Structures are given as C-alpha cells and as structure tokens.
Amino acid sequence: MTRKETRGRQNYFTTTQLAILRFLGEYRGQAFCGGCIDARLVNSIDIVGALRLLGGAGLYCGHAACSSCGKVRLLASLPVVN
Ligand SMILES: [Zn+2]
C-alpha cells in the first residue's frame, strides 16, 4: 500500500495512532505538538501524518501554543469528557 492510498477514510488505527490516543487520553484537555508527542512515545514514526488521519477520531487538531514546550505549532488534544 502506498502512502497516498492510506489517506482519507480509515477504518483502523495504526500502532502509532493508538499510542497517540493513549497518550492524549492521559492528558485530556492539554494540547501537544508533534515534537512533544514524539518525545514521549517509543518507536513513533510520522507523528504529524498520524495526527492528520486521526482528525475523525474526535481528536482536536489546530495551531496553538503547545502545553509542553509553549511553541505555536500544529497541536493535537482530546477534549475533556464530563
Ligand atoms: Zn510541544
């Protein structure tokens, strides 16, 4: 499968995506940039690409100041559930 074919609709999560969701789930309400997520995950590859594909999974993605490093970047976070 080429990279292009994996874009768009996706019915499964990759190991990287599951690791991202697990990490963000532990820090709900906080937003992290790809670099900071990458620094906390082992064997992670293509964090930004994984984040883009996670857009439909309830993940917030947008540009703001990272909760960890403070740099304005493309961030990802999971909303706080009541
Ligand atoms: Zn950061």
1 CA to centre of ligand 1 in angstroms: 31
13 CA to centre of ligand 1 in angstroms: 23
CA distances from 76 to 9, 12, 44, 60 (A): 19, 19, 15, 5
Mean pLDDT for the stretch of residues 1-19: 65
61 CA to centre of ligand 1 in angstroms: 13
Q: Which of 8-17, 18-27, 37-46, 48-57 is modeled with the greatest confidence?
A: 18-27
Residue ranges per structural domain of the chain:
14-77
Helix ranges restricted to H, 1-82: 15-26, 34-40, 47-53
> 50 pLDDT exceeds 50?
yes
Structure tokens, 32: 């992290």
Rounded to two decimals, the pTM is 0.72
The answer to whether 36 touches 63, Cβ cutoff 8 Å, is no
Assign 1 a pLDDT band (cuts: 50, 70, 90): very low
To the nearest whole number, what is the mean pLDDT of the chain? 81
